[in-house]
Structure 1
Amino acid sequence: MTTTASAFNVPTKSEVSENNQAIFDQLEKQIGFVPNLYAFYAKNETALADYLALQSRKTTLKAKEKEVVNLVTSQINGCRYCQSAHTALGKMNGFTNEQIIEIRGGSASFDEKLDALAKFTSATVSNQGKVDEKVKASFFAAGYSEANLIDVVILIGDKIMSNYLHNLTGFEIDFPLAPEL
């Protein structure tokens, strides 16, 4: 059977495995609902648990730094779902609407360290990891370490998975829609 774009539906709790139903219950307790992205991962027996484990791994990056990486990566990859979700999360982490728009554009002039991170993330995603030495030097000069570099790359990989999944399927965005840039 061939699946068309219009056939990509988000499963309900009753349509996923018992293991994934238990994860749905945990998500509802933790965040109040099951985001459509997570529910879509549950169409696969192990993907949701694997993805959540990746997302909750210990990292050297602070919450605001993670949102910078998420916003820049999602913007470059054109994922409206993740742009919208991370705009909401960015606000929860203290960014203003104006700051979020600037971050999505690949810079953060309001904070020197976050600006270096945004530019490094943008260059990494745009150039498949082949980043100009000046950009890398600015990243390290801003106070980031090689351990931070590894965490940025892991977070970019996390976000690319979700960006591509939504870009391929186009299921409904269940966050306030982020403005177009």
Structure 2
Amino acid sequence: MFVDHTIETAPEAARRTLAATEKRFGYLPAASARLAEAPLLLDGFLKLSAMFETTSLDPLARETVVMTMATRNGCHVCVAIHTATLRRLDAPAALVQALRDDKPLPDERLQAVRDFTHTVLDTAGAVPDEALTAFLTAGFTRQQALEVVLGIGTYTMSTLANRLTRAPLDEPMAPFAWAPAT
């Protein structure tokens, strides 16, 4: 139903973004090609993603938020892409596997990020004081609590759009393929 746009077939407003994406990755990811149908969504996601990358959360904490969203929402593309990111970050294999399998994390601090992310989602932001205190006690700040919300918003957009467009997994991500547990 959704088209795998090329730079030439995409709506004019998406062409520059697709060209930059292709240059960055060395190929045009199918997810981006399909999101090009809605240039503002594509551009918005990429801008928000870049903003999330500059938050005060450390890289593994950010990836914990992303993988929590990706597994929760069943986005096989996001799980694969962010598994590759975790490997580039030299994340411990046990952490990567636990994030992919939605199992308890071997790092208490990162488990606090995951727990807080789930609590924000489960309460639609009405996080109980004790849950916020647990996040802060794990070494995070009030600013970082709000940065988790930025990550949730960014990756809600991405995971839902990728599922809606039925974005396939690109060949370079095949080694990191994932399917939700049945």
Q: TM-score range by the shorter chain?
A: 0.7 to 0.9
After the TM superposition, which of the residue ranges 165-174 and 152-161 deviates more from structure 2?
A: 165-174
Quick one: structure 1 residues 170 and 45, their matched pair in 2 at CA, closer, same or farther if it must change by over 3 Å? closer
Give the Cα–Cα distance (whole angstroms) in 2 for the partners of residues 167 and 49 of structure 1: 18
* Residue identity (%): 25
Give the Cα–Cα distance (whole angstroms) in 2 for the partners of residues 114 and 83 of structure 1: 17
Number of residue pairs matched?
A: 174
One-letter code of the match for 2:94? E
One-letter code of the match for 1:146? R
Give the Cα–Cα distance (whole angstroms) in 1 for the partners of residues 127 and 112 of structure 2: 13
Q: Is the 8 A contact 1:68 1:117 kept in 2?
A: yes
Tell me, what secondary structure is at the counterpart of 1:9?
coil
Give the Cα–Cα distance (whole angstroms) in 2 for the partners of residues 26 and 180 of structure 1: 31
Could you tell me which residue of structure 1 aligns to residue 121 of structure 2? Answer: 125
Structure 2 stretches lacking a partner, 5+ long: none
Q: Is the 8 A contact 1:107 1:118 kept in 2?
A: no
Could you tell me which residue of structure 2 aligns to residue 15 of structure 1? Answer: 9
Quick one: structure 1 residues 171 and 28, their matched pair in 2 at CA, closer, same or farther if it must change by over 3 Å? closer
> Structure 2 residue aligned with 1:169, among 162, 165, 170?
165
One-letter code of the match for 2:55? T
Superimposed CA distance per residue, residues 89-138 of structure 1 (whole angstroms, 9 cap, x where no aligned partner): 122222244312312416422x2321211111122223433434433222
Please report the RMSD computed on the Cα atoms of aligned residues, expressed in angstroms: 2.0
Q: Is the 8 A contact 2:66 2:82 kept in 1?
A: yes
Note the C-alpha offset of 1:165: 1.1
Could you tell me which residue of structure 1 aligns to residue 55 of structure 2? Answer: 59
Structure 1 stretches lacking a partner, 5+ long: 1-6
Give the Cα–Cα distance (whole angstroms) in 1 for the partners of residues 131 and 62 of structure 2: 18
Give TM-score scaled by structure 1 length.
0.84
Note the C-alpha offset of 1:139: 0.7
Could you tell me which residue of structure 1 aligns to residue 105 of structure 2? Answer: 108
> Structure 2 residue aligned with 1:142, among 138, 144, 153?
138
Give TM-score scaled by structure 2 length.
0.84
